[in-house]
């Protein structure tokens, strides 16, 4: 009975994965024009075609940065759910993803997609290594979240400067050819890479959500996050589940780093503001909630871009932190979070 059900489930998941893959390829390669025209028709129908185009551009820019934030927040959330502390070094896994892709693609001249894939795998391994080497001894002592946070800072500083030592402090880029002109879209401009960023982060997001909600491992992750002792009682190896969570979360961070490096330059300090935005996004969305991570990331991205439009680009980080402090003070459970007895601030 059990095996039949899991088989059915596996078949379903495989089917969904294949469809998503096909859709993904279609959208990026050929289907772009069709989808664009469909959306344009919808917009024309609604009658907002000729509204302020800068508004739409800001919104699109917000979605691009927001989808990256959402990916980081998602990885962070998956890890947070199992271990219940702020894994700050997540940001350096993100930066490492970008640098690894650079190393494989530009230094070793491996094929683009293979090198990205390798980079994501090595990033996942890096996350697992951080967990094994640093967090496991701390878990043995049963220390507080604060100690974990500070240790995580230490790991972050160490690895960031290691990256700087290896690759230098100057900015690098994954771009090889000239910059392509973007598509004009409802009066706004969007490039192929930007579309790739939005679509692939949404796809990754959906896959992760399926993984958490539908598979056995996802169920185990949820069990460990709800009640670690209860999970151990029913025979779930929580250390193994934590390792899987670190692998998936870090792979997501690596993917986010690669995606953003298609769009902007790579520098050693890029992980710092990224993880801050990831943490802020997941607190806004409701910490530990997966739809919350998506929502919080997009919300933060759009809010930041609106703020930059109104004020100045340099205030980006300050805006994000003002939003965070407001949320911490007035709605600490976030937009979609549920306040449980234990997790009250």
Q: Is residue 310 involved in binding other proteins (CB under 8 A)?
A: no
Beta bridge partners of 189: 184
Q: Is residue 158 involved in binding other proteins (CB under 8 A)?
A: yes
Q: How far is the CB of 316 from other proteins (least distance, A)?
A: 8
Q: How far is the CB of 193 from other proteins (least distance, A)?
A: 28
Q: How far is CA 170 from CA 94, 99, 177, 274, in A?
A: 18, 12, 20, 18
The rounded Cα 197 to chain-centroid distance in angstroms is: 11
Q: Is residue 161 involved in binding other proteins (CB under 8 A)?
A: yes
Which residues does 332 contact at the CB level (< 8 Å), separation at least 6? 283, 345
Judge whether 60 and 203 are in contact, CB under 8 Å: no
Output the six-digit token pair for 148: 């974990």
Q: Is residue 171 involved in binding other proteins (CB under 8 A)?
A: no
Q: Is residue 129 involved in binding other proteins (CB under 8 A)?
A: no
Judge whether 255 and 77 are in contact, CB under 8 Å: no
Query: Which residue carries 């407001």 as its tokens?
Result: 326
Q: Is residue 314 involved in binding other proteins (CB under 8 A)?
A: yes
Q: Is residue 150 involved in binding other proteins (CB under 8 A)?
A: yes
Helices in the chain by DSSP H: which ranges?
2-29, 32-46, 53-83, 90-102, 112-130, 136-141, 145-167, 192-214, 216-226, 228-233, 238-263, 270-285, 290-310, 316-330
Output the six-digit token pair for 263: 């769009």
Beta carbon nearer to other proteins, 170 or 213: 170
Stretch of 5-13, 152-160, 194-202, 254-262 lying at the interface with other proteins (CB under 8 A): 152-160
How far is it, in rounded angstroms, from Cα 251 to Cα 92? 12
Query: Which residue carries 């919350």 as its tokens?
Result: 292
Q: How far is the CB of 171 from other proteins (least distance, A)?
A: 15
Beta carbon nearer to other proteins, 186 or 323: 323
Q: Is residue 293 involved in binding other proteins (CB under 8 A)?
A: no
Tell me, residue by residue from 267 to 286, as one string, x for binding to other proteins by CB under 8 A and - for no binding: ---------x--x---x---
Q: How far is the CB of 139 from other proteins (least distance, A)?
A: 11
Beta carbon nearer to other proteins, 102 or 148: 148
Q: Is residue 57 involved in binding other proteins (CB under 8 A)?
A: no
Beta carbon nearer to other proteins, 34 or 161: 161
Judge whether 236 and 243 are in contact, CB under 8 Å: no
Q: Which residues of 40-69 are buried (b: 16+ CB within 10 A; e: fewer)?
A: eeebeeeeeeeeeeeebbbbbbbbbbbbbb
How far is it, in rounded angstroms, from Cα 181 to Cα 226? 48
Q: Which one of 69, 76, 86, 299 is in contact with other proteins (CB under 8 A)?
A: 86
Q: How far is the CB of 47 from other proteins (least distance, A)?
A: 39
Beta carbon nearer to other proteins, 104 or 148: 148
Q: Which one of 6, 137, 171, 339 is in contact with other proteins (CB under 8 A)?
A: 137
Beta carbon nearer to other proteins, 235 or 314: 314
* Interacting residues with other proteins (CB under 8 A): 85-86, 134, 137-138, 143-151, 153-162, 164-165, 168-169, 276, 279, 283, 312, 314-315, 317-318, 321-322, 324-325, 328-329, 332, 345
């Amino acid at each position: 009975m059990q095996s039949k059900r899991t088989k059915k489930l596996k078949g379903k998941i495989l089917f969904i994965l294949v469809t998503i893959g096909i859709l993904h390829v279609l959208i990026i390669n050929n289907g772009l024009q069709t989808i664009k025209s469909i959306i344009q028709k919808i917009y024309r129908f609604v009658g907002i075609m000729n509204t302020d185009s800068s508004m739409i551009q800001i919104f699109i820019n917000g979605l691009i940065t927001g989808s990256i934030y959402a990916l980081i927040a998602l990885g962070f959330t998956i890890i947070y759910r199992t271990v219940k502390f702020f894994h700050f070094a997540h940001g350096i896994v993100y930066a490492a993803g970008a640098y690894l892709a650079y190393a494989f693609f530009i230094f070793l001249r491996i094929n683009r997609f293979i090198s990205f894939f390798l980079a994501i795998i090595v990033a996942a391994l890096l996350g697992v290594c951080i967990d094994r080497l640093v967090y496991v001894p701390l878990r043995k002592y049963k220390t507080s979240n604060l100690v974990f946070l500070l240790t995580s800072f230490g790991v972050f500083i160490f690895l960031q400067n290691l990256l700087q030592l290896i690759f230098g402090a100057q900015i690098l880029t994954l771009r090889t050819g000239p910059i392509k002109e973007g598509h004009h879209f409802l009066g706004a401009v969007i490039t192929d890479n930007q579309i790739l960023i939005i679509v692939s982060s949404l796809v990754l997001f959906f896959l992760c959500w399926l993984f958490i909600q539908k598979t056995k491992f996802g169920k185990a992750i949820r069990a460990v996050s709800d009640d670690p002792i209860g999970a151990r009682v029913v025979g779930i190896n929580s250390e193994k589940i934590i390792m899987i969570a670190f692998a998936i979360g870090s792979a997501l961070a690596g993917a986010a780093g690669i995606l953003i490096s298609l769009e902007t330059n790579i520098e050693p300090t890029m992980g710092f503001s990224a993880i801050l935005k990831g943490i802020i996004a997941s607190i806004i969305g409701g910490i530990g909630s997966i739809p919350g991570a998506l929502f919080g990331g997009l919300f933060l991205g759009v809010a930041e871009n609106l703020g930059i439009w109104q004020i100045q680009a340099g205030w980006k980080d300050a805006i994000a932190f003002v939003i965070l402090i407001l949320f911490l003070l007035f709605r600490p459970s976030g937009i979609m979070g549920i306040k449980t007895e234990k997790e009250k601030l």
